[in-house]
Amino acid sequence: MISLTASGVSLELGGARILSGVDLAVSGGEVVALVGPNGAGKSTLLGVLSGDLEPDGGAVLLDGRPIAARPARELARERAVLLQRQGLAFGFRVEEVVRMGRAAWHRTPAADQDDRLVEESMERAEVAPLALRLFPTLSGGEQARVSFARVLAQAAPVLLLDEPTAALDIRHQEAVLAVARSTAALGAAVVVVLHDLSLAAAYADRVCLLSAGTVAADGPPGQVLTSELLTRVYDHPVRVVDVDGSLVVVPVRNRVEGATWAPS
Amino acid sequence: MTATASAPASQAPVRARKRGALGRVGLLGGLTGALLVAMVVAAGRGQLDVPPTEVLGSVFHRLGLDLGPLPHHPQGENTLWRVRFPRVATAALAGAALATAGALMQGVFGNPLAEPGVVGVSSGAAVGAASVIVFGWTFAGTWSAAAAAFVAGLVTTLLVYALSRDGGRTETVTLVLTGIALNAMTSAGLAFLMFLGDQQAREEIVFWTLGSLNGSRWEQVAVIAPLTGVGLVAALALSRQLDLLALGDRAARHVGVDVERLRLTTIVVVALLTAAAVSFCGIIAFVGLVVPHLIRLVSGPGHRLLVPASALGGAVLLVLADLWARTAIEYADLPIGMLTSLVGGPFFFWLLRRARRTAGGWA
């Protein structure tokens, strides 16, 4: 079974310590949500896990072997990454962009699967009707879904998703995470950075809560997403309520009596 | 996604690919045909006119085929083989090399506005050639200026690359800005060389920087052809990976591209192609900029079609531009670089406006 392990990862960027002593392990079949306030180091940790950033201390093992200095092509067959921001320099069509996910399998026996996987991935990400559109002409949410389809087409056993739901409407937020869930059910290890804690509660097997570059808690959603912990880490009163068996995380909003700006 | 909605949509990519394959053959075939026609016509035109049928006849007879008429003018055969053919061949090779270099450069920068001049090949090469002219170096006989231009262009390009590399990465903006700084320095170097040189050297430098195919010989073709050939083969080999670079450096790495190595290889190929063309023909601007841009409007951004189509398109363009340069004014050989810039500049403005209005194909 595939596994991705970060142990004692520390990283300093531009003189600021972003991560210190972070431990995180993900194995096949699991969805792990990375949550935490702005600047807690979520995206940086994802960068370290994907091999983009080399940690100052600690190590990342992918499938038991150090991720550092492994050839890009070999890595691409084992882990796929969805970045927060998608860009494309030229006007490629959606289908061509999704096919780019298959590049690492070029001239391997798995390349026979290209057509099937591209088509399947477009359908799973609900972008099949956009196949012939030019990527730069799509809306932000559509671009995010096309990039998600590209990541799925890569057919890697480890998926690293940085805020895949940020630009999406409610329906597609649910759809993308449901696909991530089903990919995990087929044996993939999925790490997903999320801001929406209720989404994390609904779709993650484990929630890893980062706070100022350290792991504040790591465990099942029910254990990590508690009112006391979240209130402390986010520095804002947070309530966790159970609605028909699913956890919903809501900030406490102070209703100001006689607000000065209220229309009279 | 419902089954009814996905069925027609899932067949669309297959249809698109079939159409793409047809378009690919059509575009490359059409450009090859255009190049052959342009070369035959260009070879026949000039102070001594040889009709296209006689041009073809002459070529066929040299190939041992008894086909078509030989040139009826007593000097026809000589003019064709001594003057016209090497010149047309040089034009085609230089055009192909410059346009391919442009396509590669734009792919590496992920920006349709990038061109070999940006990273300093042209200006670096100019300094090399001008040094030879001013200091009278003769280390490689009559080929010294060309050789120095080639080496200097390559060195300048690698220098830009080394300066703009930081922590194993190359930020596009830094690379372009470094190119600008180096271009400024090479311009100053060129100005200083012109200041140092005597009247004759100055004239030679000016002529060279204007760009001309006048006096092309088979010996030059024998140097340009293998360089361009190697460059083209390398460009085609890189084209699949260049597509992925459009995703951006990080995402390209995520789908399996060794971005640093791809950039470095591409830049060496660009320097090779550009210097090969520039060292014998001087600075011929705009070919590397507008040809790939035009081709992209027809073929789409995929480099596997863009690279060979740009090579053919560049060859056609430069053969025709050179024909115009030497026939526009009787008994005069206009600088081809001046002509391409004169026509290319406004044309490029128009392209810019057009590309900005239609959202596709624009970064």
β-pair partners for A31: A190
- Confirm whether A129 is domain-assigned: no
Residue in B13, B257, B359 nearest the CB of A72: B257
Indicate which CATH number applies to the domain containing A217.
3.40.50.300
Query: Choosing among B247, B260, B354, B358, which should be mutated to test the A contact, i.e. which has the most A CBs within 10 A?
Result: B247
- The size of chain B, in residues, is 363
Q: Is the pLDDT score of B295 beyond 50?
A: yes
Count of CB contacts below 8 A, A vs B?
A: 117
Number of independent structural domains in chain A: 1
Where is mean pLDDT largest: A190-199, B128-137, B170-179?
A: A190-199
More confident residue, A260 or B121: B121
Contact list in A for residue B9 (CB cut-off 8 A) is: 128-129, 131
Please give the average per-residue pLDDT across B116-137, as a whole number.
80
Question: What per-residue confidence (pLDDT) applies to B162?
Answer: 76
Give the type of residue at B250.
R
User: What residues 4-63 of chain A have any CB closer than 8 A to a CB of chain B?
Assistant: 50, 52
Least Cα separation, residue B109 to chain A (angstroms): 9
- Sign of the CA dihedral running A224, A156, A87, B262: positive
At residue A168, the 3 state secondary structure works out as coil
pLDDT in tens, B208-252: 778 888 888 898 898 889 889 999 999 999 999 999 999 988 999
Q: Is A92 on the interface with B (CB under 8 A)?
A: yes
pLDDT in tens, A26-44: 999 999 999 999 999 999 9
Q: Is the pLDDT score of A259 beyond 80?
A: no
Please give the average per-residue pLDDT across B270-281, as a whole number.
82
Closest to B271 in 3D by CA, of B142, B173, B124: B124
- Confirm whether B208 is domain-assigned: yes
In contact, B182 and B159? CB cutoff 8 Å: yes
Q: Is B243 on the interface with A (CB under 8 A)?
A: yes
Q: Is the pLDDT score of B112 beyond 80?
A: no
Closest to A225 in 3D by CA, of A206, A211, A244: A206
Number of independent structural domains in chain B: 1
More confident residue, A36 or B165: A36
Question: What per-residue confidence (pLDDT) applies to B155?
Answer: 85
Classify each residue of A45-74 as buried b or exposed e, where b means 16 or more C-beta atoms within 10 Å of its C-beta.
bbbbbbbbbebeebebebbeeebeeeebbe
- Under the banding of pLDDT at 50, 70 and 90, the label for residue B6 is very low
Question: What per-residue confidence (pLDDT) applies to B7?
Answer: 42
Q: Is the pLDDT score of A255 beyond 80?
A: no
- Confirm whether B2 is domain-assigned: no
Question: What per-residue confidence (pLDDT) applies to B168?
Answer: 52
Q: What does each C-alpha distance from B148 to B94, B153, B159 come to in angstroms?
A: 17, 8, 16
Contact list in A for residue B104 (CB cut-off 8 A) is: none
Please give the average per-residue pLDDT across B167-176, as a whole number.
62
- Confirm whether A13 is domain-assigned: yes
Radius of gyration of chain A (CA): 19
- Confirm whether A202 is domain-assigned: yes
- Confirm whether B120 is domain-assigned: yes
For chain A, helix, strand, coil in percent to 5 are: 35, 30, 35
- Confirm whether B58 is domain-assigned: no
- Under the banding of pLDDT at 50, 70 and 90, the label for residue B15 is low
- The percent of residues in chain B predicted with pLDDT above 90, rounded, is 34
- Confirm whether B342 is domain-assigned: yes
- Confirm whether B76 is domain-assigned: no
Closest to B240 in 3D by CA, of B97, B105, B93, B104: B104
- Confirm whether B197 is domain-assigned: yes
Contact check, Cβ <8 Å, A128/B301:
no
Work out whether strand A65-66 and strand A158-162 pair parallel, antiparallel, or are unpaired: unpaired
Contact check, Cβ <8 Å, A136/B360:
yes
Least Cα separation, residue B287 to chain A (angstroms): 20
- Under the banding of pLDDT at 50, 70 and 90, the label for residue B359 is very low
Q: Is B167 on the interface with A (CB under 8 A)?
A: no
In contact, A190 and A49? CB cutoff 8 Å: no
CA B353 to chain centre: 23
pLDDT in tens, A67-123: 988 999 999 999 999 998 888 888 899 999 999 999 999 999 999 999 999 999 999
Q: Is A162 on the interface with B (CB under 8 A)?
A: no
Contact list in B for residue A13 (CB cut-off 8 A) is: none
Tell me which of A176-190, B4-18, B123-137 is least confident: B4-18
- Under the banding of pLDDT at 50, 70 and 90, the label for residue B331 is confident
Owning domain of residue A14: 1-78+156-226
Q: Is the pLDDT score of B169 beyond 70?
A: no
pLDDT in tens, A169-211: 999 999 999 999 999 999 999 999 999 999 999 999 999 999 9
Indicate which CATH number applies to the domain containing B187.
1.10.3470.10
pLDDT in tens, A130-140: 999 999 899 99
Q: Is the pLDDT score of B326 beyond 70?
A: yes
* Mean confidence (pLDDT) of chain B: 83
- Under the banding of pLDDT at 50, 70 and 90, the label for residue B167 is low
Contact list in A for residue B240 (CB cut-off 8 A) is: 103, 106
- Confirm whether A94 is domain-assigned: no
Question: What per-residue confidence (pLDDT) applies to A14?
Answer: 87
Give the type of residue at A162.
D
- Confirm whether B232 is domain-assigned: yes
Question: What per-residue confidence (pLDDT) applies to B356?
Answer: 62
Q: Is the pLDDT score of A232 beyond 80?
A: yes
More confident residue, A151 or B271: A151
Q: Is the pLDDT score of B161 beyond 60?
A: yes
In contact, B135 and B204? CB cutoff 8 Å: no
Q: Which residues, in sequence order, are CB contacts of A16 under 8 Å at separation 6+?
A: none
